Amino acid sequence: MRESGNTEVIIFAKAPVEGRVKTRLQPQCTPSQSVTLYRAFLKDVVEMVAGWVGTQDGARATVSWAGEDDDATQGWIREQGVSVVEQGEGDLGARMRRAIGAARTRGAETIIIVGADSPTLSGEHLSLASATVKRCDVVWGPSFDGGYYLVAVGAQEKSRNVLVEDVIFEGVAWSTADVLAQSWQCARRAGLLPDLLGFWYDVDTFEDVKVLEFHLLEFLESQGFEGARHTREVLLKWRHCGYLRS
């Protein structure tokens, strides 16, 4: 089993701008409602990650930001002890590869990337990813739409001639149902050892919001889950006004 070394968790996020985030929630959601929900998702993921890294020796958290600056949101993120860096140009694969490389230059050996689309993720997901990647090269958290909600890579073995991040993002058709399958094939062709966590879900459509409503407000509530407080607040308000019955 490999040593994990320092860990960095990177949250991929977009500037919360109407018409640019959560557009697939429309027309059931207005652009303003879409931004409201996205802000709640982002805050919940940031708080969850910040809480988790606070319990881990040598761990840090970073938001990889796409879009124009938002002083209020970025200031709040920094108040949680989380750094904010620019994603830069390129497709999603190029940006994740760049983010992992930058984390390595900051001294990270285990790097975990999550998005801001899964507000019910918990520290248990991060702990499991961190533990699993010690015995393999790359770990994905698969989502039901064929993509993934998390990817983790471990320390680079000196015996390898290739970086994991130089392999797993190449030639992937992003935003399709084949993302995880193609990523897995990239790893196997390069002789890497991949693994999977349990399935979880992103929230991209209004149908997903209805699933989230039940899962968070009914099931997870009954299990004593205390996370996703910002998302919970939005959903309870929408439920009270009857909006979620549409």
Sorted by where each begins, the domain ranges of the chain are 7-201
pLDDT digits (tens, 9 = 90+) for 3-54: 445 999 999 999 999 999 999 999 999 999 999 999 999 999 999 999 999 9
pLDDT at 241: 87
Residue partners of 239: CB distance under 8 A and separation at least 6: 213, 217
- How far apart (Å, rounded) are the C-alpha atoms in residues 114 and 67? 18
d(CA 241, CA 228): 20
Model confidence at 243, in pLDDT bands (50, 70, 90)? Answer: confident
CATH code for the domain defined by 7-201: 3.90.550.10
Q: What angle do CA 202, 70, 12 make, to 5 degrees?
A: 30
Return all residues near 95 (Cβ < 8 A) that are at least 6 apart. Answer: 12, 64, 66, 87, 88, 89
- Angle at CA 82, nearest 5°, toward 136 and 120? 65
For residue 246, pLDDT beyond 90: no
Backbone angles phi and psi of 243, in degrees to 5: -65, -35
Q: Which residues contact 50 (CB under 8 A, 6 or more apart)?
A: 61, 80, 81, 82
Return the structure tokens found at 163.
């970086």
Please spell the DSSP secondary structure of 31-43, one letter per residue: HHHHHHHHHHHHH
Rounded (10°) angle between helices 31-53 and 71-79: 20
Q: Per-residue pLDDT for 158 more than 80?
A: no
pLDDT of 159 > 50? The answer is: no
Kindly tell me if the per-residue pLDDT of 218 is higher than 90: yes
pTM: 0.95
**pLDDT at residue number 18:** 94
215-234: average pLDDT: 96
**If pLDDT is split at 50, 70 and 90, which confidence band does 161 have?**
confident
Q: Which residues contact 243 (CB under 8 A, 6 or more apart)?
A: none
What's the whole-number average pLDDT of the chain?
Answer: 93
Q: Would you say 40 and 231 are in contact if contact means Cβ atoms under 8 Å apart? A: yes
Higher-confidence residue of 203 and 244: namely 203
